[in-house]
Structures are given as structure tokens and as C-alpha cells.
A and B are shown apart, each in its own frame.
Chain A
Amino acid sequence: MRRFFRQLSKVFNKLKRMEENHKLFSDAPLHLKFNVEKTNNKGEDADPILVASSSCDRFFIAVADGMGGSGSTNYEYSGQTKTGAYYASRTVLQSCKEFFDEIFTKNFSFDTNFNKLKPHIKEQLTMILKQFKFETSGLKSKLIRALPTTFAGIYIEKSEEQIRIASIWAGDSRAYILTANEGLQQISIDDLKEDLDPFQNLQKDSQLKNFISADNDFIINRWGINIQNPFLAIVATDGCFGYFSTPMQFEYVFLKSLEDADSIEDWEILLVENIKEVAGDDFSMLTLVMGWDNDFALMKRDFKQRTASLYKESIEQLEILDKSCTQLKNDKERIDEELRMKQKHKFDVQQFVWTEYRKKYYQIQNNPE
């Protein structure tokens, strides 16, 4: 039955992708894209966006993750009531789409226009906030913000000589590059209050020092690099990577899903299934395949060695330790239960022995002269 649904899902995804690609351009690069809600109709991630120039030499991909904790205020808009986090992520990605559509259509430079992106986002958030109906809150808190969201995007510009990439982000949604030789490399820096690396932050879960909102100033970070084909450009919200015990396990799940898939649609389904097993939140991702002549099989073959070495060097020992910790925990629970039962039995025996013993023990008291 599961196999049937997977096949059905594959067909549906393929049709959806064909329709989307047709809208974009006839020669679209392969990409996988998903937005999975933790709870139906309560998702606060927006659908990831892919914007492309008509000549297919410039691309922009992005994700946004509405911040449910800070943005839990409910707003009524166009007859539906949703949280500020829901509206924030969608407004920000819609603003980005408008921005990149314009610079691609008019062939504007990204570099000279980048500083217009933040005011455009801010203006859109302010405008939509004014249209909302909402009940005034009696709460005072720096934690609660109007329309808060994180976002991460990658701008890609191809020329004959090189490929230029700019990652832009606010908060802890991430931009990555994945190559067969170097593996996964983060090209955004999480805007954390504490100075923690991605592994430390999995344990400590720092708050954010910077994110987009309608009622607070924010920074859109930008970082540029040059790169050679082939590579994968990945943008992901924290639901994708933030629930694995280590960053290596996130990369491994990503690559193992690729290894087990026979098409990009299959890869998407497997990846969603594998992330869903651990994710405690909504999760969304867009991965753009740059190079490999848009040939899935060629790309898959190229990553085979990386998947194997990552497993050998990092994952295998972690899995062994995971198993032995689980075994020990189970043993401890079993021993605790045995101890509890043994103590109860000991008490029952004590009670029984005492009941017999007390007959003589109280003999004088019970038979006073």
C-alpha cells in the first residue's frame, strides 16, 4: 500500500513539476522542492520559491520559516484566520519573488539592487499588517513580534567563465552548497544570540539575534562566492536539519535518499519520509541541481563515493553508539523493573515472615497474667 501511494505521489509530483517548469522556462534545471506541515493546515513555513531568468543564466531560490513562538498572534485576512508567523513567511517569499522577477525581467544587476530588497520586504510586511483585523493583546513581551520569520536564499549567476553565488539570509534558515568532492558546506551563518556552531546549537538551541519582522529592524545578510559546476544549491528551514543529532546525519540522510532513489521525484519522496521521521516542526527545502547536464543518474553516480565515505568516516560509528546506548537504556529499564519487583517481593516476604514471627514475639503481651 505504501508503495502504491509512493507511486501515486511520484506521478502527482512529476505532473506538478512539469506544470511549474513549463511556467518557468522550457529548459529548467532539475530541482526538488517540498513544504511539509507538522500539523495539517497549521504550517508556518512558506512554499519555497524558484525564480529564473528567461535565458536560464540567473536563478534565485529561497525558503522562509514563520516563527510560531514569537508570531503566534492570530490575524484575520481575506476571511481566514492564521498566525502572524504564517503570513510573515509567505509575505517575505512573495516580496522576494517580486524583487527577483523584476531584476531578471529588466536585466538589472543584483549587486546594485540588493539594498532595495530589505525596504521592499519591510514595506510589504507593514502594508499587510495594516490590512489585518486582530484583537489587541494585553501581554507585554519582547518575545512577541509582529509577522516574524526567518529566511534564506541563494542567488546564482552563470557566465561563461564562472558561476557566482550570493547567499542571503536572516535568522537560522540555511543556504548550503553540496558537491561530490567536498560534501555539504553551509554558506549562511545562523544569526544566533550565542556563539555556537551548528553542532553545539543542536544541543543548546540558541535564540536568534536577527530575523525579519514588521515591528523591529533586521539585517539581510549577504555572502558571495564563486564556484564551478557541478553542485547542488540547497535552501532549507530548520525543521529539515535541526532535529538530527549531528549535522553529518542531515547530510547523510540527504545523500542516502538520493542513493536509494531512481528519479528526482523519488528522491523528493524519500527525503521527505526520512526527515519526517525525526522532525518536530514544519520543514521546507528547495534544492537546485546545477550541472550534470540535468541528468539525474549522472548526478546520483557522482555522489555515490561521497555517500560511502561519509558513512564510513562519520555515520557508522554514530549508529553503533546509538544502538549500544539504546541497548543500555533498555537494559537499565529492565533492571530497574526487576529491582522494583524484587524489592516488592522482599517486602512481601518480610511481611509474611514477620506475621509468623510476631506470634511468639507478642506472646507475652497477648497473654498477660
Chain B
Amino acid sequence: MQGLKYTVDIVMCIDCTGSMSGIIDTVKSNALKFYPDLNRALEAKDKHIDTLRIKVIAYRDYYADGDIAMKESTFFNFPEQQSEFQSEVNNLTPTGGGDEPENGLEALALALKSEWNKSGDKRREIVIIWTDASAHPLEKSGKPSNYPTSLPKNFNELSDWWGGDQDGLVSSLAQRLILYAPDSYPWSDISNIWENVIHYPSKASDGLKELDYETILSAIVKSV
């Protein structure tokens, strides 16, 4: 008798503004080791994933960085496209951003409307954000011409995207959000209000203890 099929999609949103220069290598290393670590944790629990994909969103600031403000990769199939994923991450360069805050909420919104894998019986849709900065409010005026028109108008609408189970968006049943972000707007609001969020208040995972990292992996693996 056949069992159920599992699919896991992960979207990594990485702040690539100039202020990340000092910690970008740590973030890249964390992003690159996430798959092997997750795999190890899955194997330790004897859990088998049928399809696992990862994509990368490198974000900066639409108000300061023009065309390099947001770069979204396609999903890489694992383990087949692991080397393409590694190249994508290794090529990330910290630059621009102007003053804090950055466009972290826009990156999160784009992550939520990713082309999630809807096949399989059970799914997990995971978004991870690494940033050292607060984020612009979505309702900020004076948007530049390259600012996407399909994004939520404000934080409440983004919250509906997270919790509302709307077509074309992340599933409220499958979702997990992992924040390596300072305890500032909007990250602290998100971890206080939204469901299914794990927040490590820091500058982009700086000082993350092994214990907490294992807790994050366990929260994902054991919910699969």
C-alpha cells in the first residue's frame, strides 16, 4: 500500500546591501549549508522528501539601487542543481542600499508569491530571511518607476497574504518563516503577530548558537 509523497520548497531572501559586507560571507555559508544540514536532520529522523527545491531572492533598496534592487532566481531542484544554487549564492555581492531601512518586506512579498510546488500529498513552504536592517513600510510614498505593482499596499495586506490562504500565494497549512533579522520594524511585529514564524533577533544570524540552529532545523524536519 502506497504512502504519501512529500515536497519541500525553500525561498532564501538575502539582504545584499552594503551594510551586509561584514557578515555576507557568514550568511552565504549559512545558506549553502542549509540543505546539507536539513538533509542530515531528515536522515537522522529517517524522513524522506520526494522533491526539494530552493530559490534565492537577493534584495537591496528600490529607493536607492535602481535595477539591482531585487534579483529573483528560479527554483533549483535538489540535489540535481545544487552546483547552480551554489553559484547563485556565491555570486551575491553586498552593495548599495543607501541608508537603512531596505526593501525586506518587498522581498518577503515576492517570496510568498513564488511558484510553489503544488504536487505531492504533503507540502512544506519555507521562507528564510537574512538581514541586518529594518524594512521600508510598504505604503511608503514616492515609489520609483521599477517598483513592482503587484505587491501588497501595506503591512496588513501582506499579513493577509501570509494568513489568508489565497490562490497563488504561500499555503497557510504548509508555511514556515525563519527570520534572522534585528528586533526592529517589521520583523518583531511579524514574529509577534504572524503564525508559523521563528525569529532569531540578530543581525542576519550573527551569533546564532548551535542549539538554536538545531531547534530551527527540528521545527522544520519534525513538521514534515
Would you call A277 and B212 a contact (CB within 8 A)?
Answer: no
In whole Å, how far is B188's beta carbon from the nearest beta carbon of chain A? 8
Q: Which residues of A contact B208 (CB under 8 A)?
A: 138
How many Å lie between the Cα of A280 and that of B48 in the bound state? 8
Would you call A72 and B214 a contact (CB within 8 A)?
Answer: yes
Q: Which residues of A contact B141 (CB under 8 A)?
A: none
Q: Which residues of A contact B64 (CB under 8 A)?
A: none
How many Å lie between the Cα of A42 and that of B222 in the bound state? 12
> Does B45 sit within 8 A of A, measured CB to CB?
yes
> Does A159 sit within 8 A of B, measured CB to CB?
no
Q: Which residues of A contact B220 (CB under 8 A)?
A: 69
How many Å lie between the Cα of A207 and that of B176 in the bound state? 12
Name the CB-closest residue of B to A134: B211
Q: Which residues of A contact B1 (CB under 8 A)?
A: 244-245, 249, 253, 274, 277-278, 319, 322
> Contact mask B120-145 → A, CB, 8 Å, 1/0?
01110000000000000000000000
> Does A106 sit within 8 A of B, measured CB to CB?
no
Would you call B3 and A243 a contact (CB within 8 A)?
Answer: yes
Q: Which residues of B contact A206 (CB under 8 A)?
A: 173
Q: Which residues of A contact B216 (CB under 8 A)?
A: 139
In whole Å, how far is B18's beta carbon from the nearest beta carbon of chain A? 26
Q: Find B173's partner among A207, A244, A274 (CB 8 Å cutoff).
A: A207
Would you call B2 and A70 a contact (CB within 8 A)?
Answer: no
How many Å lie between the Cα of A249 and that of B44 in the bound state? 28
In whole Å, how far is A112's beta carbon from the nearest beta carbon of chain B? 38
In whole Å, how far is A111's beta carbon from the nearest beta carbon of chain B? 36
Q: Which residues of A contact B6 (CB under 8 A)?
A: 280
Taking CB atoms and an 8 Å cut-off, the chain A residues in 131-157 that contact chain B are 135, 137-144
> Does B46 sit within 8 A of A, measured CB to CB?
yes
Would you call B44 and A142 a contact (CB within 8 A)?
Answer: no
Q: Find B121's partner among A38, A70, A138, A245 (CB 8 Å cutoff).
A: A245
> Does A39 sit within 8 A of B, measured CB to CB?
yes
How many Å lie between the Cα of A52 and that of B121 in the bound state? 40
In whole Å, how far is B8's beta carbon from the nearest beta carbon of chain A? 13
Would you call B197 and A137 a contact (CB within 8 A)?
Answer: no
Name the CB-closest residue of A to B122: A205
> Does B77 sit within 8 A of A, measured CB to CB?
no
How many Å lie between the Cα of A221 and that of B211 in the bound state? 35
Q: Which residues of B contact A117 (CB under 8 A)?
A: none
Would you call B197 and A143 a contact (CB within 8 A)?
Answer: yes
Mark the stretch among B65-73, B81-89, B107-115, B198-206 that contacts chain A.
B198-206
> Does A203 sit within 8 A of B, measured CB to CB?
yes
> Does A28 sit within 8 A of B, measured CB to CB?
no
Q: Find B3's partner among A70, A73, A194, A278 (CB 8 Å cutoff).
A: A278
Interface residues of A (CB under 8 A from B): 38-39, 42, 67-70, 72-74, 83, 85, 135, 137-144, 194, 202-207, 243-245, 249, 253, 274, 277-280, 319, 322, 326
A-B contact pairs, 6 of them (CB 8 A): A74-B211, A140-B198, A245-B2, A245-B4, A280-B6, A322-B1
Q: List 17 additional A-B contacts (Cβ < 8 Å) besides A140-B199, A206-B173.
A: A69-B219, A69-B222, A69-B223, A72-B214, A72-B218, A135-B209, A137-B215, A139-B198, A139-B212, A139-B216, A140-B191, A141-B191, A141-B199, A143-B196, A143-B198, A205-B123, A280-B224
